[in-house]
Amino acid sequence: MYDWEDTPELNITPLVDVMLVLLAILMVIAPNIIYEENIKLPQGSTSQQLSKIPPVHISIDKDKNVKINRDRYLLNAFMDNFLLYSSKLDKKATVLISADKSLDYGIVMSVLAAVKQAGFSEVSLATNG
């Protein structure tokens, strides 16, 4: 006679073993699968070449002398002189400001404000590292 209260035991060990082997095979093969899609790109216009705009280097030494590329200016007259100097420059050029670390924060910020007021948008402060 059959005992209805006995619960059958399922042996899932072989199922787990097979799944782990399949998972290992999939993990080894998956990085080697290459998907290739053929894409036809549109033709671009080659008539307009991108022009490389030379950057503007501004350096301030510990004696508060300002040097723009190769021209020297005094810090007191820098704002007016830079407005005149920047009239012949492209406003999309990158401006790199290098200042001595012993200078006051306000001096560097006044030079930065003058550069922004002249219309330059890409301005960076140079650091050592």
Q: pTM of the entire structure?
A: 0.57
The 3-state DSSP class for residue 65 equals: strand
pLDDT of residue 26: 93
**pLDDT on residue 51:** 63
pLDDT, position 28: 93
Structure-model confidence comparison of residues 86 and 24, the more confident one: 24
In CATH, what number does 56-125 get? 3.30.420.270
Q: Find the angle CA(96)-CA(102)-CA(106) to the nearest 5 degrees.
A: 65
Q: In this structure, what token pair is assigned to residue 112? A: 């930065």
Per the CB < 8 A criterion, the answer to whether 82 and 116 are in contact is: no
What is the pLDDT at residue 80?
85
**Mean pLDDT, the chain, as a whole number?**
84
| pLDDT value, residue 33 | 81
> Where exactly are the structural domains of the chain?
56-125
Three-state DSSP at 102 gives: coil
